[in-house]
């Protein structure tokens, strides 16, 4: 009788969609929902570099002992080099404190918990541009931080609504935190351009606003270096900030929960205290992070040949995503003249983009054509392949024409 008053949790659109896909036994079903990179066979894509790293680890017989609370020191150093650059001055001067966490979500939770306990952020708010990844708000609310939303994406044009971003920054109280996705924006795929990153930094600095970088897709947008442009520019300009790094997407280690939290700070004693606080929080909450995924990543990043193989595989993945975008656009616009503005297919980057479909059209695609996507019309581009892309386009065209509804974009 102790749990009779426990309420149901709020619905999770991704969880609901995954269950619907799994329940559909149609052999031609198409899953454009969950954000996992799929290969041409619509299956999990294991990188060749990961396969080789597994063999190396097997030969080493490292066992399954606990990892150090804050993660293997070599692993977090290598992770920092990927994100900030190998010759980064902040790394060399010890301005950056890095600890392992449970992938991107766990890194964000640990970061939010850390900020909620810092006196400088007491009573401060977290600004999140919309549409946004659905986990941001509950993750910050969970540790007692209040979320303020502002418009990030211009649905009609399919681009970042940069004026709204600057307006939010200009109006936010001093010390406010801004969540910034460094690349491959989830869910829109619309990213800031280099000149916009520079202008954003110039506006945020005098207002003493705090950047909170989410780096879940580095390498899948324009390239490993290019995707880190915004973060690296903020660091070069002397900002203090947090960065949450995930290796789920760019290493294909979704289930291994491999990520790193980086804190960029100032002062000689500050990094040591930051490290010690993070050590305590990790110890109190989950004791230590999973070792296997981190060892795989470290094996690759610590081996020049494997590291080159990995970066080349990322290029192949990135080029395939671009090719799939072009193919879908061609099928809809050039071949079928499907009504609507389909420009976001080509202007977006990474795994995701929005299609100009309403929830009713999305539901019809699922029930009548076995093609699944989120009700927001966000699709995972890698769910398409050469064997299904024509059927996807044909089905979308049929649904749009039969419904009589044409959206400007979203």
Q: Which residues of 61-78 are buried (b: 16+ CB within 10 A; e: fewer)?
A: eeeeeebbbbbbeebbbb
Catalytic residue, from 29, 72, 161, 249: name it. Answer: 249
Beta-carbon neighbour count of residue 146 at 10 Å?
A: 11
Q: Which of 214, 227, 310, 397 is catalytic?
A: 214
Distance CA 348, CA 346 (A): 6
Catalytic residue, chosen from 72, 124, 133, 309, is 133
Half-sphere exposure (Cβ direction) of 199: Cα atoms closer than 13 Å: 11
CA dist 81 and 208 (Å) reads 27
146 is annotated as an active-site residue: no
Torsion angle, CA of 375/377/381/382, rounded to 10 degrees?
10
Task: Answer yes or no: 208 catalytic.
Answer: no
**Residue pair 367/395 in contact by the 8 Å Cβ criterion:** no
- Which helix or strand (DSSP H or E) is residue 264 part of? strand 258-264
**Known catalytic residue: 214?**
yes
Q: Are 377 and 357 in contact (CB under 8 A)?
A: yes
Tell me the β-bridge partners of 213. 180, 243
Catalytic residues: 133, 214, 249
């Amino acid at each position: 009788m102790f749990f009779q008053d426990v309420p149901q949790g709020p619905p999770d659109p991704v969880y609901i969609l995954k269950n619907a896909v799994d329940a559909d036994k149609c052999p031609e079903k198409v899953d454009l929902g969950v954000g996992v990179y799929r290969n041409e066979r619509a299956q999990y894509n294991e990188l060749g570099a990961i396969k080789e790293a597994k063999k190396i680890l097997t030969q080493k017989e490292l066992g399954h002992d606990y990892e150090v609370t804050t993660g293997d020191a070599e692993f977090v150093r290598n992770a920092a080099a990927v994100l900030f650059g190998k010759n980064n001055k902040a790394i060399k001067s010890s301005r950056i404190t890095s600890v392992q966490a449970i992938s991107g979500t766990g890194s964000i939770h640990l970061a939010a918990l850390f900020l909620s306990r810092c006196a400088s952020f007491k009573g401060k708010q977290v600004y999140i541009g919309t549409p946004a990844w659905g986990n941001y708000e509950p993750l910050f609310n969970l540790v007692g931080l209040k979320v303020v939303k502002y418009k990030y994406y211009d649905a009609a044009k399919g681009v970042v609504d940069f004026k709204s971003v600057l307006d939010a920054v200009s109006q936010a109280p001093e010390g406010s935190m801004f969540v910034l996705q460094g690349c491959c924006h989830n869910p829109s795929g619309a990213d800031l351009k280099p000149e916009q990153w520079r202008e954003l930094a110039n506006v945020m600095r005098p207002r003493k606003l705090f950047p909170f970088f989410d780096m879940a897709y580095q390498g899948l947008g324009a390239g490993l270096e290019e995707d880190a442009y915004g973060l690296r520019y903020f660091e070069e300009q002397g900002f203090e900030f947090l960065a949450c790094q995930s290796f789920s997407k760019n290493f294909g280690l979704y289930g291994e929960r491999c990520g790193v939290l980086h804190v960029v700070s100032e002062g000689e004693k500050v990094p040591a205290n930051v490290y010690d606080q993070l050590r305590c929080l990790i110890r109190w909450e989950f004791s230590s992070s999973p070792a296997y995924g981190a060892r795989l990543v470290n094996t690759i990043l610590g081996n020049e040949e494997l590291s080159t193989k990995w970066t080349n595989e990322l290029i192949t993945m990135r080029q395939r995503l671009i090719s799939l975008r072009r193919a879908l656009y061609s099928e809809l616009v050039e071949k079928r003249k499907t009504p609507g503005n389909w420009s976001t297919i080509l202007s977006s980057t990474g795994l995701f983009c929005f299609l100009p479909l309403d929830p009713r059209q999305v539901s019809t695609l699922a029930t009548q054509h076995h093609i699944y996507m989120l009700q927001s019309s966000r699709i995972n581009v890698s769910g398409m392949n050469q064997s299904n892309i024509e059927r996807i386009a044909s089905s979308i065209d049929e649904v749009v024409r039969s419904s009589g509804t044409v959206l400007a974009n979203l």
